[in-house]
Amino acid sequence: MNKQHLLTGVSLATAVIAVAFACAKPKGPAGQLGASASVKELMDKRKLTEADVEAALRTYTPGGRADEYMILASGGQAGQILAIGAPSMRLLKVIGVFTPEPWQGYGYGGGGNEILAQGHQGDQKLGWADVHHPNLSETKGDYDGQFIFVNDKANARVAVVDLSDFATKQIVVNPLVSSDHGGAFVTPNTEYVIETSQYPAPLGRDYAPIEQYKEKYRGLAMFWKFDRAKGRIDQAASWAIELPPYTQDLADAGKLDSDGFAFLNSFNTEMAIGGTLEGKPPIESGASQNDMDYLHVIDWRKAEKLVADGKSTTIKGVKVISLETAANEGILHLIGEPKSPHGCDVTPDGKEIIVGGKLDTHATSYSFEKIKKLIDGKQYSGKDAYGVPTLDFQQSIKGQVEIGLGPLHTVFDNKGNAYTSVFIESAVAKWNYKDMKLLEKIPVHYNIGHILSAEGDTVSPDGNYVVAMNKMSIDRFSPVGPLYPQDFQLIDIEGPKMRLLVDMPIGIGEPHYSQMIKMDKLKTRKVYPVGENIYTGQKDPSATLAGQEKIVRSGTTVDVYMTAIRSHFTPDRIDVEEGDTINLHVTSLEQSEDQTHGLSFNLHNIDLSLEPGKHENVTFVASKAGVYPFYCTEFCSALHLEMAGYLLVRPKGTPPGSAAAAGSASAAPSGSAAPPAASGAAPKK
């Protein structure tokens, strides 16, 4: 290593290391190396610089100590959400959201199947999603730690995850559009979860020839009404606004001064429709002709009132404010924005909207005050092709800052600084949005997409960390084949200079966005009350307590009321006939923290996770005669391997306990092979 650097480096690191050395004075037997020598030796051996050691001291979090923050990151194509501790950047959990997740028993027979089924579309049983933007629920513009919402760009869906148990409780399908992007953004009191479309298509998902793009294809802003008491989106109370077929992109909700408004940008106002084989320009270049696209300014409170007054039409069961009404009633205004815009981020005070253009070198700050004045005075610069009033760009902006090539997304600290991801340059640009000055740039590795900051989308960001979410990671990690992990880079922004602290590989998908919440805002449950159905939040009607276990047969239907507790299932034998339908109801009787059981059935694609108290219901058909072991899949106790049982499926027409069923010539004793608690042919309740 560079000894020169060690000797001459004058930095905080020196002090920090000196302290570390001092604190690590040896207490061991004489003859051992002094601690300072051994730390230096370690640094030599591991080729660590002072900066490395300082970064380690700032991020290392010993076991038993909680991280200060949690990052809730999009799982990208995995369709999940990742929970990551910060500053340690340790992965805590991958939450099953749109994609079945076997460890959590999500989508392998239990109640998670019903949640996933909410997201199916017609005959399409979707088994994945392209998750882009997780958004935490807010109260008065501050993360409240209760819920997180995410959108599925590929299939226009939004999911609700309850942060009291980190489980997905609802998936809603947008019946009007086929893809989304500007989502899932919440209004400051989570009145609405906003989801805006990406690729225009006929509303209601009907067919229209692409040649009728301008007449028939449309964009949309969906306002999903959130019922906080129920913890679910209320689909019947949700509504939408029809938008022109500009490819709407990111969105953000206004706050404080701009509360009641939503902002979304767009690209392809050229309305290019491709046709490369037909000799037309590809969408990519067709969509990049104009120097300006349109920032959409939506007055959602006004829109809400119009819907309440019945001034909407209904498409596929959703109340929709038509483009014409939106234009005429002052719901929607458009302002030019340069060039191929992507990010659209409202400042913590709600006074400005920052837009980054992928093919631009500026970040542009729009002044909400100016916009509001123009709207209130009806000072329009004109109208777009659909009759939507437009506002003059120069009169709407506060200014522009030259920050580098390919600015995308912007987050904020508590000192009036903005941090913009600069994609083409692979950098984070720090600039002050009060006096519009570029302050500093730091390289990141590589091709940064989104950026996140601690409590960054609230009215009061913390100002200590940002994370660069990089698309590429060449030379950053050990090779794992041609598909490289993405790279999260934690950056310390507390001091006058930004400092890169640590890289975290994300090996599950392309996370687009994430949010970072103070850990102490999360009020997480440790166990469920015995018998809770976590998908309804109620005690399940089939919850089974100790001593109530039974098997109830009614014709070809067999109801099994089962309990699980260290280290047995009761009953542990289920004797049925080929073709029988089994309704399995299983309750974990555990109430000790972290005492989870699993329940899997051989060859039936059933795998449940039974956290303490949890109840699950599974229905399946015993379609083929045979002997199917079931067992606990969590190593729960010393006798975990013994936590097992048998599903015995007799060939059709074979009476219970019949030795003939086994092909034996000898007579079998009569009687039932069902467990002692079986109650015969009692009708299903």
List the one residue from 84, 156, 250, 272 that touches ligand K7E (CB under 6 A): 250
Residue 634's binding partner out of ligand CUA, ligand K7E, none, with CB under 5 to 8 Å set by partner kind: ligand CUA
- Residues 430 and 449: their CA atoms lie apart, in Å, by 15
Gyration radius (Cα) of the chain, Å: 29
Q: Are 409 and 466 in contact (CB under 8 A)?
A: no
CB closer to ligand K7E, 449 vs 463: 449
Closest CA to 304 of 368, 261, 340: 261
**3-state SS of 405-456?**
CCEEEEEECCCCEEEEEECCCCEEEEEECCCCEEEEEEECCCCEEEEEEECC
CB closer to ligand CUA, 339 vs 573: 573
Task: List the x/- string, 638-667, binding to ligand CUA by CB under 6 A.
Answer: --x--x------------------------
How many helices (H) and strands (E) would you count in the chain? 11, 45
Contacts of ligand K7E in 386-445 (CB under 6 A)? 408-409
Is there binding between residue 132 and ligand K7E (CB under 6 A)?
A: yes
- Residues 486 and 218: their CA atoms lie apart, in Å, by 33
Is there binding between residue 636 and ligand CUA (CB under 6 A)?
A: yes
Structure-block tokens of residue 604: 């039936």
List the one residue from 40, 169, 181, 615 that touches ligand K7E (CB under 6 A): 181
Please state, in angstroms and as integers, the Cα–Cα distance from residue 165 to each residue in 161, 507, 634, following that order: 9, 24, 19
- Residues 589 and 547: their CA atoms lie apart, in Å, by 11
Taken as a whole, the chain contains a residue count of 685
Ranges of beta strands (E only) in 461-549 are: 465-470, 486-492, 499-506, 514-518, 532-533, 538-539
Stretch that binds ligand CUA, among 269-277, 326-334, 392-400, 628-636 (CB under 6 A): 628-636
CB closer to ligand K7E, 265 vs 633: 265
Structure-block tokens of residue 369: 């005050």
Least distance from ligand CUA to the Cβ atom of residue 644, Å: 9
Count of residues touching ligand K7E (by CB under 6 A): 11
CB closer to ligand CUA, 348 vs 612: 612
Is there binding between residue 450 and ligand K7E (CB under 6 A)?
A: yes
Is there binding between residue 513 and ligand K7E (CB under 6 A)?
A: yes
List the one residue from 449, 461, 598, 645 that touches ligand K7E (CB under 6 A): 449
Cα Dmax for the chain: 97
- Residues 110 and 116: their CA atoms lie apart, in Å, by 11
DSSP 614: B
Is there binding between residue 632 and ligand CUA (CB under 6 A)?
A: yes
List the one residue from 255, 319, 333, 342 that touches ligand K7E (CB under 6 A): 342
Least distance from ligand K7E to the Cβ atom of residue 469, Å: 7
Residue 156's binding partner out of ligand K7E, ligand CUA, none, with CB under 5 to 8 Å set by partner kind: none
Structure-block tokens of residue 577: 């006939």
Is there binding between residue 476 and ligand CUA (CB under 6 A)?
A: no
Is there binding between residue 67 and ligand CUA (CB under 6 A)?
A: no
Least distance from ligand K7E to the Cβ atom of residue 264, Å: 12
Is there binding between residue 572 and ligand CUA (CB under 6 A)?
A: no
CB closer to ligand CUA, 36 vs 567: 567
Interface residues with ligand K7E (CB under 6 A) are 132-133, 181, 250, 342, 408-409, 449-450, 512-513
